[in-house]
């Protein structure tokens, strides 16, 4: 199975929109193992709308918009890491993580622990605003400390050329391109903007 993992330097930085674009570009199936927060459209619903591709049901759907371990505890649930095994699909699979790498799934397990166990290439999504160099380099160091293969860093937001250069050079990682903020977030607009992303580089890792 050809799997790619999308994680981010933080929450709310655009990795779901990026995941939607990537899922469409690869002709992939999408899976969000753990969804925290059901008050608004879920990430799976957003990706289904923007990509037009198959979306698998989450292993856990948690009501509270908080860290998964806290959301689960609020419902009297403990996340079973064994249930987070990537399901078999035909063709590529895009898996989107929850928040950043160090987000706790339980009091004992971080999302990074699970990502490392999947042994699939990781795309790190980074925002382009202030603080991104620090967050990105820390995230890259964490991934490599667990033996993860990093396909590259994809940026979301306004152009910050020096930050991109600093991250890719200091982090010794490939720049996969930048996805701008889209005022009119439609499937067509996302598909057009995704032309700036180096899909070929991501395909090489699958």
Dmax (CA) for the chain in angstroms is 46
DSSP state letters, 34-101: EEE--SS--HHHHHHHHH-S-BPPPSEEESSSS-HHHHHHHTT----GGGGSPPP-SS-EEEEEEEET
The position carrying tokens 């050329």 is 161
CA–CA gap between residue 57 and residue 64 (Å, rounded): 18
CA–CA gap between residue 9 and residue 102 (Å, rounded): 9
Please indicate whether residue 32 is annotated as part of the active site.
Answer: yes
Q: Which of 24, 32, 135, 164 is catalytic?
A: 32
Residues 160 and 45: beta-carbon distance below 8 Å: no
Catalytic sites, residue numbers: 32
């Amino acid at each position: 199975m050809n799997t790619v993992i999308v994680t981010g330097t933080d929450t709310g930085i655009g990795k779901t929109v990026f995941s939607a674009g990537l899922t469409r570009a690869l002709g992939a199936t999408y899976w969000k193992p753990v969804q925290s927060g059901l008050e608004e459209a879920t990430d799976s619903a957003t990706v289904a709308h923007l990509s037009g591709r198959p979306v698998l049901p989450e292993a856990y759907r948690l009501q509270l918009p908080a860290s998964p371990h806290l959301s689960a505890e609020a419902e009297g649930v403990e996340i079973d890491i064994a249930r987070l095994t990537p399901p078999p699909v035909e063709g590529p699979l895009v898996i989107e993580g929850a928040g950043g790498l160090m987000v706790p799934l339980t009091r004992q397990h971080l999302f990074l622990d699970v990502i490392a166990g999947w042994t699939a290439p990781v795309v790190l999504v980074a925002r382009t605003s202030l603080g991104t160099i620090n967050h990105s380099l820390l995230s890259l160091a964490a991934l490599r400390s667990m033996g993860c293969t990093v396909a590259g860093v994809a940026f979301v937001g306004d152009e910050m050329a020096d930050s991109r250069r600093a991250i890719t050079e200091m982090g010794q990682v490939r720049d996969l391109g930048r996805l701008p903020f889209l005022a009119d977030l439609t499937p067509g607009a996302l598909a057009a903007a995704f032309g700036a992303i180096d899909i070929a580089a991501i395909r090489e890792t699958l």
